[in-house]
C-alpha cells in the first residue's frame, strides 16, 4: 500500500506548469447517514494529465465522495475542492467540472437535445456546442427522442455529452462503462484517455479492476469509505497480492511438511496439488530436490487483477457472500 | 472528434451562471415537457369551459339558489377546477426533478441552488398569469354574452378586479404547488398535500370547528383567502380582496421559505 506521492513523476508532461488546474483535493472527508458511515476520513488528490481510477466494491463510498465533490451532498466533516475551491464556489461550474452521475440524472420526459440545451443555457453555452457534443457521443439519431426511452448505454452517452458541454478541465465520471456494449466501452476508454492526454483531469469510478487496469494510470482504492491504496496501476498490480506457486507432486504431504514456515501459506487445491505463497518457485524446487522429492508441476502464478483487487478489499466488502472462499494465504491445509 | 482535441478554454468569465441564464434554462425545461402543454391546455379549457357552462345554465334558469348567482362569479366559476390542474402542474415542475433524478444535473449546473427555485417560479408565474388572465377575460366576456341582459360589463365595479384577481389566485395556487414540490421532493406527497390544503381544509374546519372559530379562522384558510381576491360577492366575515391577497402571499412565502431552506441546506 503506497500512500506516497512518487506517482507525480509518472504524470505525463504537466499541461499548466504554474498552477495545477483541474486538481481535485479531498481532505479528511467523512460522511455519515444516521449511524452509517459512508465515507470515513478520506484524503486523496487527483491530478491532471492522467486518468485516475476510483476503485472499490459496491457500497465503498465512491458515489458519495463524488456527490460531495460536486456539492450535491454536504460532508459531515472534511473538505473537497476542485481547483482550490469548493465546487459551489465556482461561478462557471459546468466549465470547471463535467460530471456523469451514476444514476440517470435526466428528466425522462425531455428529449436529449432539450436536456442539453437547458443545461447549456445556465451558463451561456451556445446551441452549436449542444449539437457538437451530441455528435461526439453519437446520439444524433435519437437526440430529439424522449430520454425516458433510452437504453442504459444511450443514457450514459447522454450523461457524457452533458459532462463535455462546458469543455471542462476536470471530468468526474461515476461508473461510465455501466450498461455500455463492448464497442461503447472501447469508445469511452479512448475518450477518457484522449481527454487526459489533452491535460484534463479525469476521475472515473468503477468496481471493475480489469476495466481500470486498461483505462487508468493511477488508482485510488477505497473500501468501506476508507482509503485502501493510492498507487499507480503498475505498483498496485505488483503489490496487491503475493504471487503464488502451484505445486503438484506425488509426495505432496512430505513436501508440504518441508515447506511450512512462519511466512508461508499453503492452500490445498486437490489431490496432490497445493498452492504456496511466501516462497519462490526456485526455493520450492531446491527444497524438493534436496529431499529427493518428485515434482510434476511447479508453476508461479501471477494473480489476476480482479484477484489482486479482491484480496485487497475483501475485508472491506460491504455485502460479502457468506460462503466466499478465502483467497490465497487465508487457509493452511495439508494434503 | 475534433471538438475533443481542443484544450480546455483558459478563462471562464463569460460562462458565469447568472439568474437570467437560469431563468432561460428553466424556460427551456418548462416547455420541453409534453405534460406542460397538455396541462396548460387543460387548465385553459376547464377555466373557460366551466365558466361558460355555468353562465349558460344560469341563463336558462337551470341553476338553483345553491351556487353563485352573481354574473361575474358565474363566468369565473371554472377557477375552482383550474386551480386543481395548475397546482398539479406546479408540483410536477419541481418534484418531477426529484422523481427523475434530473435535480442532480440541475444542481451541478447551478450549485447556488436557490436560483433554480426562483427561476422556476418566475417562468411559471409569467406563463400561468398571462395565460390565465387571457382565459379569465374570455370566460368573463363569453359568460356575460351568454347571460345577456343580466350580465355584467368590465366597467362594473369590481369586475376587472375579479378577472385579474382570479388569474392572480390561480398563479399563486400553482406556485404553492411548486413550493410544495420543492419542500416535499415527491410528486405524490406534494399533490396530496396541495389537495388537502386547498380542498379538504375548509371542509374539515366546517365540520370540526365551533361556529365562532369558523367565523374567525375560516376566512384565513388559503382557499377562502384566494376567493376573497377574486370573487365579486363578499360575505360578512370574508377578507377584503387585498387582505385575501396578503394572506395568500403569506402562505406562499411560508411554504416558499421552507422549500428554499430545504433546497439550500439538504443533500440532493
| pLDDT tens readout for residues A51-71 | 999 998 888 999 999 999 999
Contacts of A92 in chain B (CB under 8 A): 12-13, 15-17
Chain-chain contact of A95 with B104 (C-beta, under 8 angstroms): no
B38/A contact by beta carbon, under 8 A: no
- C-alpha to C-alpha distance for A205 and A103, rounded to whole angstroms: 13
Do β-strands A36-46 and A265-270 pair in parallel, antiparallel, or remain unpaired? unpaired
Closest CA of chain A from B83, distance in Å: 23
Q: Which pLDDT belongs to residue B65?
A: 58
Write down the pLDDT at residue A281. Answer: 87
Residue B11 lies in a domain: no
Residue B108 lies in a domain: yes
CA distance A72 to chain B (A): 6
Which of B2, B6, B8 is the best substitution to test chain A (most A C-beta atoms within 10 A)?
B8
Burial of A149 (0-12, 13-18, 19+ CB in 10 A): exposed
**Residue-level pLDDT at A241:** 56
Would you state the torsion angle of the CA atoms of residues B21, B26, B31, B37, taken in this order, to the nearest 10 degrees?
-150
Confidence band of A280 (pLDDT split at 50, 70, 90): confident
ipTM of this complex? 0.90
Residues 164-193 of A with CB under 8 A from B: 164, 166-169, 191
Using a CB-CB cut-off of 8 Å, the residues of chain A touching B104 are 67, 72, 101, 103, 105
pLDDT reading at A164 higher than 80: yes
Cell of B235: 360575505
Does some domain include residue B1?
no
Q: Which three cell numbers mark B13? A: 468569465
Nearest CB to A123 within list B15, B34, B267: B15
Whether the CB-CB separation of A26 and A43 falls below 8 Å is answered with yes
| CA separation for the pair A89, A301 (Å, rounded) | 50
Tell me the CATH architecture of domain A6-239: 3-Layer(aba) Sandwich (3.40)
Contacts of A70 in chain B (CB under 8 A): 108, 111
**Candidates B14, B97, B268; nearest CB to A72:** B268
Is residue B10 one of the residues assigned to a domain? no
How far is it, in rounded angstroms, from Cα B164 to Cα B139? 12
- Whether residues A92 and B16 touch (CB distance < 8 A) is answered with yes
C-beta neighbour count of B97 within 10 angstroms = 24
Looking at the partner chain, which of B32, B101, B265 has a beta carbon nearest the beta carbon of A103? B101
Whole-number pLDDT of residue A327: 43
Higher pLDDT, A328 or B212: B212
Q: Given this model, what pLDDT does residue A310 score?
A: 76
Say how many C-beta atoms besides its own lie within 10 A of residue B1's C-beta: 10
Domain ranges of chain A: 6-239, 241-316
Q: Looking at beta carbons, which residues of chain A come within 8 Å of B15?
A: 92, 94-95, 123-125, 166
A25-42: pLDDT as tens digits: 999 999 999 889 999 999
CA distance between the termini of chain B = 34
Residue of B27, B109, B263 for testing the chain A interface, max A β-carbons within 10 Å: B109
Decide if B108 and A74 are in contact by the 8 Å CB cutoff.
no
Q: Which of A188-202, A242-256, B59-73 has the lowest mean pLDDT?
A: B59-73
Whether residue B108 lies within 8 A of chain A, CB to CB, comes out as: yes
Q: What is the mean pLDDT of residues A99-116?
A: 89
pLDDT reported for residue B67: 60
Task: Give the residue-averaged pLDDT of A313-321.
Answer: 58
Chain A within 8 Å of B33 (Cβ-Cβ)? yes
The answer to whether A119 contacts B109, with C-beta atoms less than 8 Å apart, is yes
Q: How far apart are CA A60 and CA A206, in angstroms?
A: 11
C-alpha distances out from residue A119 to A131, A162, A311, A335, Å: 13, 8, 42, 65
Q: What is the CA radius of gyration of chain B?
A: 21
Domain count, chain B: 1
Of the candidates B24, B104, B111, the beta carbon closest to that of A121 is on B24
Q: What is the pLDDT of residue A263?
A: 82
CATH number of A241-316: 3.30.70
* Beta-bridge partner residues of A73: none
Residue A316, SS3? helix
Compute the nearest-CA separation of B170 from chain A (Å).
Answer: 25
* Chain A nearest-CA residue for B27: A118
> How far, in Å, CA of A70 to CA of A64, rounded?
10
Minimal C-alpha gap between A173 and chain B (Å): 13
A66 to chain B, any CB pair closer than 8 A? The answer is no
C-alpha cell at A236: 498496485
Q: What is the pLDDT of residue A115?
A: 96
Residue B33: list chain A partners with CB under 8 A.
107, 109-110
List the pLDDT tens digit at each of the 268 positions of chain B. 444 545 555 444 578 999 999 999 999 999 999 999 999 999 999 999 999 999 999 888 777 655 667 889 999 999 999 999 999 999 999 999 999 999 999 999 999 999 999 999 999 999 999 999 999 999 999 999 998 887 888 888 789 999 999 999 999 999 999 999 999 999 999 999 999 998 888 778 778 888 887 788 888 888 888 888 988 887 777 889 999 999 999 999 999 999 999 999 999 8
Residue among B9, B25, B33 whose CB faces A121 most closely: B25
- Mean pLDDT (chain A) is 84
3-state secondary structure labels for all residues of chain B: CHHHHCCCCCCCHHHCCCHHHHHHHHHHHHHCCHHHHHHHHHHHHHHHHHHHHHHHHHHCCCCCCCCCCCHHHHHCCCHHHHHHHHHHHHHHHHHHHHHHCHHHHHHHHCCCCHHHHHHHHHHHHHHHHHHHHHHHHHHHHHHHHHHHHHCCCCCCCCHHHHHHHHHHHHHHHHHHHHHHHHHHCCHHHHHHHHHHHHHHHHHHHHHHCCHHHHHHHHHHCHHHHHHHHHCCCCCCCCCCHHHHHHHHHHHHHHHHHHHHHHHHHCCC
Confidence at A261, pLDDT banded by 50, 70, 90 = confident
Parent domain of B146: 19-265
The strand pair at A170-174 and A297-301 is best described as unpaired
Mean pLDDT of A225-249: 82
Amino acid at each position: 500500500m503506497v500512500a506516497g506521492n512518487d506517482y507525480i513523476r509518472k504524470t505525463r508532461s504537466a499541461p499548466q506548469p504554474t498552477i495545477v488546474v483541474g486538481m481535485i483535493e479531498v481532505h479528511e472527508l467523512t460522511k455519515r447517514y444516521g449511524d452509517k458511515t459512508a465515507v470515513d476520513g478520506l484524503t486523496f488528490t487527483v491530478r491532471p494529465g492522467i486518468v485516475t481510477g476510483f476503485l472499490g466494491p459496491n457500497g465503498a463510498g465512491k458515489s458519495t465522495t463524488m456527490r460531495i465533490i460536486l456539492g450535491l451532498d454536504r460532508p459531515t466533516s472534511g473538505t473537497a475542492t476542485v481547483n482550490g475551491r469548493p465546487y459551489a464556489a465556482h461561478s462557471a461550474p459546468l466549465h470547471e467540472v463535467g460530471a456523469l452521475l451514476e444514476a440517470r440524472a435526466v428528466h425522462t420526459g425531455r428529449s436529449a437535445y432539450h436536456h442539453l440545451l437547458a443545461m447549456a443555457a445556465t451558463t451561456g453555452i451556445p446551441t452549436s456546442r449542444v449539437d457538437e457534443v451530441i455528435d461526439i457521443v453519437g446520439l444524433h439519431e435519437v437526440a430529439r427522442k424522449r430520454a425516458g426511452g433510452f437504453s442504459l448505454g444511450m443514457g450514459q452517452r447522454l450523461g457524457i455529452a452533458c459532462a463535455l458541454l462546458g469543455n471542462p478541465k476536470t471530468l468526474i465520471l461515476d461508473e461510465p462503462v455501466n450498461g455500455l456494449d463492448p464497442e461503447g466501452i472501447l469508445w469511452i476508454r479512448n475518450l477518457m484517455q484522449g481527454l487526459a492526454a489533452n491535460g484534463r483531469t479525469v476521475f472515473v469510478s468503477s468496481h471493475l479492476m480489469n476495466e481500470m487496469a486498461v483505462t487508468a494510470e493511477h488508482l485510488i482504492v477505497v473500501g468501506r469509505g476508507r482509503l485502501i491504496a493510492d498507487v499507480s496501476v503498475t505498483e498496485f498490480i505488483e503489490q496487491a497480492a503475493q504471487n503464488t506457486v502451484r505445486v503438484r507432486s506425488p509426495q505432496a504431504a512430505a513436501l508440504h511438511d518441508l515447506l511450512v514456515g512462519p511466512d508461508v501459506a499453503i492452500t490445498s487445491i486437490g489431490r496432490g496439488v497445493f498452492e504456496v505463497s511466501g516462497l519462490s518457485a526456485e526455493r520450492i524446487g531446491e527444497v524438493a530436490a534436496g529431499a529427493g522429492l518428485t515434482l510434476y508441476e511447479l508453476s508461479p502464478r501471477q494473480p489476476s487483477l480482479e484477484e489482486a483487487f479482491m484480496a485487497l478489499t475483501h475485508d472491506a466488502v460491504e455485502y460479502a457472500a457468506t460462503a466466499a472462499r478465502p483467497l490465497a494465504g487465508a487457509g493452511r491445509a495439508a494434503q | 472528434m475534433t471538438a475533443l482535441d481542443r484544450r480546455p478554454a483558459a478563462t471562464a468569465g463569460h460562462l458565469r451562471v447568472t439568474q437570467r441564464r437560469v431563468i432561460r434554462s428553466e424556460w427551456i425545461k418548462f416547455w420541453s415537457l409534453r405534460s406542460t402543454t397538455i396541462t396548460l391546455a387543460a387548465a385553459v379549457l376547464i377555466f373557460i369551459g366551466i365558466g361558460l357552462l355555468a353562465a349558460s345554465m344560469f341563463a336558462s334558469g337551470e341553476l338553483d339558489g345553491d351556487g353563485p348567482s352573481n354574473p361575474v362569479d358565474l363566468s369565473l366559476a371554472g377557477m375552482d377546477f383550474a386551480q386543481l390542474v395548475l397546482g398539479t402542474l406546479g408540483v410536477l415542475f419541481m418534484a418531477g426533478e426529484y422523481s427523475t433524478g434530473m435535480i442532480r444535473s440541475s444542481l451541478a449546473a447551478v450549485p447556488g441552488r436557490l436560483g433554480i427555485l426562483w427561476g422556476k417560479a418566475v417562468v411559471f408565474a409569467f406563463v400561468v398569469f398571462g395565460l390565465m388572465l387571457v382565459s379569465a377575460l374570455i370566460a368573463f366576456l363569453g359568460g356575460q354574452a351568454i347571460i345577456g341582459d343580466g350580465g355584467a360589463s368590465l366597467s362594473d365595479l369590481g369586475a376587472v378586479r375579479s378577472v385579474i384577481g382570479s388569474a392572480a389566485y390561480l398563479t399563486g395556487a400553482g406556485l404553492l404547488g411548486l413550493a410544495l414540490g420543492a419542500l416535499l421532493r415527491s410528486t405524490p406527497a406534494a399533490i396530496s398535500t396541495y389537495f388537502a390544503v386547498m380542498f379538504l381544509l375548509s371542509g374539515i374546519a366546517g365540520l370540526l370547528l365551533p361556529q365562532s372559530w369558523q367565523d374567525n379562522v375560516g376566512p384565513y384558510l388559503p382557499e377562502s383567502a384566494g376567493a376573497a381576491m377574486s370573487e365579486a360577492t363578499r360575505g360578512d366575515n370574508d377578507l377584503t380582496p387585498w387582505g385575501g391577497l396578503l394572506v395568500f402571499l403569506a402562505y406562499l412565502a411560508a411554504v416558499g421559505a421552507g422549500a428554499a431552506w430545504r433546497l439550500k441546506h439538504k443533500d440532493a
